[in-house]
Structure 1
Amino acid sequence: LKAREVAVADRKPCTLTFVVDVSGSMNMENRLGLVKRALKLLLDQMDRRDEVGIVTYGSQARVILPHTPLSKRADLERAIDWLMPDGSTNAEAGLREGYRLADLALRPGRVHRIILCSDGVANVGLTGADEILDVIRGEARRGIELTTVGFGMNNYNDVLMEQLADHGDGSYWYVDDIDEARRVFVDTLTGTLQTVARQAKAQIEFNPALVDRYRLIGYENRDVADNEFRNDAIDAGEVGAGHEVTALFELKLKPVVSPASVVARKTPGPLAIVRIRYEDVESGEVREDQKGLWPPMILFQLDAAVAEFAEILRHSFWARESRLDGVITEARQAIRRLGERPDRLELLSMMETAQRLWPTERRQGWRDDAPDSSRER
């Protein structure tokens, strides 16, 4: 699914609040150093209608710069250059101070967004995801959205960062190098900043004449019961302008149905009916659409290879018999057909690196049973 595009010239003016983790754990070039470079990339894409404020947190939270227009670019860059690592990690204090500053700048007709840059390691104040989530739920209802951007590896806490963005009506990104920072803050900036669909949900109804069983891959903490699909009080997802959202299912077809017949549309009806429901940000109107699904095999081949690769790396119950060499072959074939874009070649390189590092025929540590949220249905 893909949201409508919004031209750069048509996007709303933005009031951004950078909340930056400057604790001791961020004292690495690929953490705080990369944060500084990434934020300057973001400034490059903004214009005189926009304004930025900066809050930092280590042991304590501080306002480094109140909201400042882009016409004072030099002041913004000096504040970013000033960021230095110090102390423990009080994420709760940082978010509270960030929302307080954002509240002061609330004005109609603008995008109000907090951008949290951190490795997700909280060790002072409220440290659990559920506790910190209580801080931000009310603020999300006021129209201040939260984007979390993760930096670093090893002790990086992706669970906390993902859950904060989820409950803060925003999005979660992971940045491991300057190229990924450019993708988030340059190539897809309008979508990163401007939400076009709120409380977005998708429902897939498989054709019982074609599909015997199915399994949703991922989205373990985003599953919505079928009877809650039209309950607009249920917290769902937000989609930015031009952003694409992918949901993958593993299917077992009926014995008399072949994959080739489904792709060739030689079956009694489509593979599934897809319904989407969302609130249009501009009008506030709740909309629902549906469409029959006929899978384009070439596009799905690469998606399936990526999903299987991830399942292998996380030692999924469902990947017990999967092999990296088979996944790499599938990915190569798909990339050959789709075209050799830099991001696709980088994916292939990551797969080949994993294969070199993976012990031959290793199967230790595989999960003995499937979690309830990912069982076949």
Structure 2
Amino acid sequence: MAQLTEDEWRRRWEAERWFLAADGESGKRFGNETIRVAPDGEVSIKLPAPLAHLANARHGRYVLASAVEFRHRGEEWRDRIASNRAVAYRIHLDVARGRWYLTASWQRPVLKTLPLVTARAQGMVGVDTNADHFAAYRLDAHGNPIGAPHRFFYDLSGTAGHRDAQIRHALTRLLHFTQRCGVRAIGIEDLDFAAEKTREKHGRRKKFRQLISGMPTGKLKARLVSMAAEHGLAIVAVDPAYTSMWGDEHWRKPLTSTKRQMTRHDAASVAIGRRALGHPIRLGAPPRPLRHWGRAAPPHDDQSDRRGHRTVQATSDGRGREETRPRIPGPRTRCVSPDCGAKAGDQCAQHRSEHTAEQQPWQQDSLPLSL
């Protein structure tokens, strides 16, 4: 300060008092009513009544000519304004650089890890992640689906900024839906396609590889956890194995009605929610009907390890049940005559090496060299 002249010192002193600040307001558009920053960086200021004639936008607002961009924690800032969470702003002048700056600040809540029992106490919202939408279904604490399925669509085409905004908007609507349901947790698959989109894994299935490559699973999990913490919600990640197959097999048809159409993804969200609640996905199916020969149908050759062994057996009075069959006199093979019943049961005489009849010495007759 000793090296500054009086004019330089006065300009710096005055510049430090040239600022405009506004505290954030949760629930207001983009988290602040006085100084509003849109997702595209547009800055507008709500003018007081005496200066309302200077407004260049609707509702007495003045839009600045320059846009802003947040490099540090920009994703977190966008997540907050997308859900209308409070963000405080301060506009000030840097005399040394001769530039105006806008600073954003907010309070990060302390993340509290809820016990799994507490998170499940009021039910769960199961979410199935797809290439173009989130399929969500509300379940009570006993795993029973409530209401109708909900779908939150997004478009992953276009620029990275457009895709990011689409995911953020869909997550915001999902979180608002969860809060309206009154539950405290969201069940979602623990997806990781890092090793699932290689050509060695799926060969020439180019469209499928492009599909799973376009799903931002890594960013999605991090963003969902961060945004859910702002709303006081817990995230329960479950194993994604067989959720789509078993959900479609056990929940799609029972929940389909004339007023409610269920898709495979809606049924998968029910399966995910039940797994997050600790309930089995598959419903107890009735035993298969017995055939007239007293046994259930055998599994298909290509599905034996999936269907398992046959467990349905005939009753004790059923014909043809598995037990030691009685000895039936007479020949057992077609290679012996009917009058050889005494020898029919002698397996030693039938196709056995080293039989007593084979131990007798024999000699082949010599063949004539000429006729």
Bin of the TM-score, shorter chain as denominator length: under 0.3
Q: Which has the higher strand share?
A: 1
Calculate the TM-score normalised by the size of structure 2. Answer: 0.24
| Structure possessing the higher relative contact order (Cα contacts under 8 Å, 6 or more residues apart) | 1
Q: Which has the higher helix share?
A: 1
Calculate the TM-score normalised by the size of structure 1. Answer: 0.24
Structure number with bigger Rg:
2
